[in-house]
Chains A and B, each alone.
Chain A
Amino acid sequence: AQTVTQSQPEMSVQEAETVTLSCTYDTSESDYYLFWYKQPPSRQMILVIRQEAYKQQNATENRFSVNFQKAAKSFSLKISDSQLGDAAMYFCAYTGTASKLTFGTGTRLQVTL
């Protein structure tokens, strides 16, 4: 079975600084997708960024980028120029051939002034 591990329950970053959230996963599949989802205090989950495993290039969405290390099964999220609105729970997620997402336990990000 696939597993997703987020070893950082909480992280803190100062406004305008950069922070990296870690995620590792375990799978025997060769074709899969990885995601970072954000859950703000309002609770509605939204997709931040997606990475296809067959793509070597790391995905980027504005201030959000990933460091995808397929051999190491690592998928970290970097948030640059952090803003107060980035404060949220961040979940790493995996999907392979089955039509379902497996989530990690989440990292709560605090953004301070």
Chain B
Amino acid sequence: SQTIHQWPATLVQPVGSPLSLECTVEGTSNPNLYWYRQAAGRGLQLLFYSVGIGQISSEVPQNLSASRPQDRQFILSSKKLLLSDSGFYLCAWAGLGGWTGELFFGEGSRLTVL
């Protein structure tokens, strides 16, 4: 069966520090991968998605970047965090058999920037 792992679960970082959130999927190959952010009181905002190694689509201009160095690994990064980067970050992968819209989510990473 397929599983998705996301870490760290919780992170407290000072303004201006770097960030690296990692997501790994097991039990599948060539999945679509996604990073969403959920800010307090707001919905889920799509940040990046990837349909293959090295292929990254950015949805909104921001202080973050994403990379996919391996087929089942998706990394969210920042060189210098801003207060507005605080939020709950969710990684997700798309199911097998072509795009049907169903996403499987990780347990999330809560980032607090102080």
Contact = CB atoms under 8 A, between A and B. Distances in A.
Contacts of B1: none
Interface in A57-113: 91, 93, 95, 99-106
Nearest to B105: A45
Contacts of B105: 44-46
A44 B108 contact: yes
A50 B101 CA distance: 9
A43 interface: yes
Interface of B: 32, 34, 36, 42-46, 49, 51, 59, 88, 90, 92, 94, 99-103, 105-108
Contact of A33 (B45, B59, B88, B101): B101
A11 interface: no
A99 B43 contact: no
B102 A91 contact: no
A91 B44 contact: yes
A113 to B, nearest CB: 26
A35 interface: yes
Interface residues of A, number: 21
A47 interface: yes
> Considering the complex of A and B, which 6 residue pairs feature the smallest CB-CB distances, nearest first?
A95-B101, A105-B43, A45-B105, A103-B44, A33-B101, A99-B99
Given A43-B88, A43-B108, A99-B32, A35 B44 contact: no
25 contacts: A35-B101, A35-B102, A44-B107, A45-B90, A45-B92, A45-B103, A46-B105, A47-B102, A50-B100, A93-B101, A95-B101, A99-B49, A99-B51, A99-B94, A99-B99, A100-B34, A101-B46, A101-B101, A101-B103, A102-B46, A103-B43, A104-B43, A105-B43, A106-B43, A106-B44
